[in-house]
Amino acid sequence: MSDPPRTFSTSTSQQKETYLNLTPAQLDRACGAVLGSAVGDALGAPYEFGSAPIGPDGPQMIGGGLGGFAPGEWTDDTTMAWCILDVAASGVDLSSADGLTAVARNFRDWYETSPPDIGIQTRNVLFEAGPNPTGDSLTATAHDFHRETGRTAGNGSLMRTAAVALPYLDDEDAVADAARKLSALTHYDPRAQEACVLWSLAIRRAIVDEEIDLRSGLAHLPADSAKFWTDHIDEAQTSDPARFTPNGWVVSALQAAWSAIAHTPELDDDPSRQFGDGLVTAITIGNDTDTVAAIAGALLGARWGAAAIPEHRREILHGYPGLRADDLVQLAHLAVTGASRSV
C-alpha cells in the first residue's frame, strides 16, 4: 500500500520539523536511494567493459574490475555521490555558492588521492581547475572544456545523482536547480544537466510518492529538450535493454538504466527481488556496468527502500573515504532530516 500523500512546507524555519514528519517508509526510501546506488556500483564493478564473465549465479560482489577493487568496494560512481551527500548531510544548501564549493573541494580532495577509476573528463576538469577550486571556478573550467571540445556529455554526472534530491523533497524546482548546477561542475553539456534533472526528480518522486515516474520531470525542461527526452525514454521503455550499449554517453546510460527498470516486472510482495532483478538486468546489458547499475540502483532503491537491499550485500559494501553501508545510511538520513539549509 502506498504512503498517504504529504504536503511539504517550504518555510526554512519549519524545514527540520517537516522532514522529521516524513513517514518511516519515506525515510527508508530516501536512504535506499543512496544505498541502492552504491550496491549497484559495487555489484557492477567486477564486470565493467567485460573485465569478468557473469557466472551462473548472476553478478556478485567479487571485486576486481578495471580498478582492481576489493570485494564489495564501490567505485568513483559512489565516491562522487558521497562528495555530494557529505555536503547535503551538513545542512549546507547544495545549490548555494558555499555548497557547490564544498562539493568541488570534496571532488578535488579525492582526485588528489590518484584514484584508479576516475573518468577522463572528470580528471581533466579537476586537473585544470587546480587545488582548492570554488564552485564557480570548477564550473567555469567545465564550461571552457565544453566550449573547446563539445564533448562533455559523458555519464559521469548522472552516476552521482542519488543524493541530489534528499534535501529538497518539498521542492521540485530546487531539485532541478541543484541537479543542473552539480552536473555543470564537471559535465557542462546541456544533455548531461538535463539527464541529472530527470533522474533526480524521478528519485524524489519515488521517495515521496512510492512511484517510478521518469516523465514527470519533463515539465522542468525546455520544450525542445522535453521532446528529445520523451523520444529517448519511449525508445528505452519499448526496446530490449541489451540494445543500450555502449553506454558511456549520458543519453544511452539513462536509457540503459531506464530500460532495465522498465523491463523488470513489479513484485509488490517481494521488494528485495524487485531491487535485485533490476540490477541484474542493468548489469547484463554490459559495457559501463558499474555506472549503469549505480544509476538504476538509485531509482530502484528510492522506490523499494533500504529495507529491500539484502543484508549480505550491505555487510561487505565499503569504499572511499573509509565508509561502509551504515555510514551511507546515516548520512542520507541527515541529508533529509538534518539542520536547515545554510548559505
Q: What letter represents residue 247's amino acid?
A: N
Looking at residue 112, its pLDDT comes to: 98
Contacts of 14 (CB under 8 A, 6+ apart): none
Structurally, the chain folds into a number of domains equal to 1
Tens digit of each residue's pLDDT (9 = 90 or more) over 267-301:
778 889 999 999 999 999 999 999 999 999 999 99
CATH number of domain containing 275: 1.10.4080.10
Residue 198 lies in a domain: yes
Comparing CA positions, the residue from 52, 59, 115 lying closest to residue 82 is 115
Residue 10 lies in a domain: no
Residue 132 lies in a domain: yes
Looking at residue 337, its pLDDT comes to: 83
Q: Are 94 and 103 in contact (CB under 8 A)?
A: yes
Tens digit of each residue's pLDDT (9 = 90 or more) over 120-164:
999 999 999 999 999 999 999 999 999 999 999 999 999 999 999
Residue 199 lies in a domain: yes
- CB atoms inside a 10 Å sphere around CB 144: 13
Looking at residue 104, its pLDDT comes to: 98
pLDDT of 106 over the 80 cut: yes
pLDDT of 7 over the 70 cut: no
pLDDT of 13 over the 90 cut: no
Residue 265's pLDDT band, with cuts at 50, 70 and 90, is confident
Contacts of 84 (CB under 8 A, 6+ apart): 94, 103, 106, 160, 163, 164, 182
Looking at residue 174, its pLDDT comes to: 97
Residue 4 lies in a domain: no
Give me the residue label for grid cell 539513462: 254
Tens digit of each residue's pLDDT (9 = 90 or more) over 163-197:
999 999 999 999 999 999 999 999 999 999 999 99
Helix, strand, coil fractions of the chain, as percent rounded to 5:
65, 5, 35
pTM of the model: 0.93
| Burial class for 60, CB neighbours closer than 10 Å (0-12, 13-18, 19+) | middle
Residue 17 lies in a domain: no
pLDDT of 113 over the 50 cut: yes
Residue 9 lies in a domain: no
Residue 19 lies in a domain: no
The string of DSSP codes covering 260-278 is: HHHTS---TT-HHHHHHHH
Mean pLDDT, range 30-37, rounded to an integer = 98
Q: What letter represents residue 270's amino acid?
A: D
The residue segments making up the domain with residue 107 are 25-337
pLDDT of 14 over the 70 cut: no
Residue 16's pLDDT band, with cuts at 50, 70 and 90, is very low
Tens digit of each residue's pLDDT (9 = 90 or more) over 299-322:
999 999 999 999 999 999 999 999
Looking at residue 101, its pLDDT comes to: 98
d(CA 256, CA 150): 23
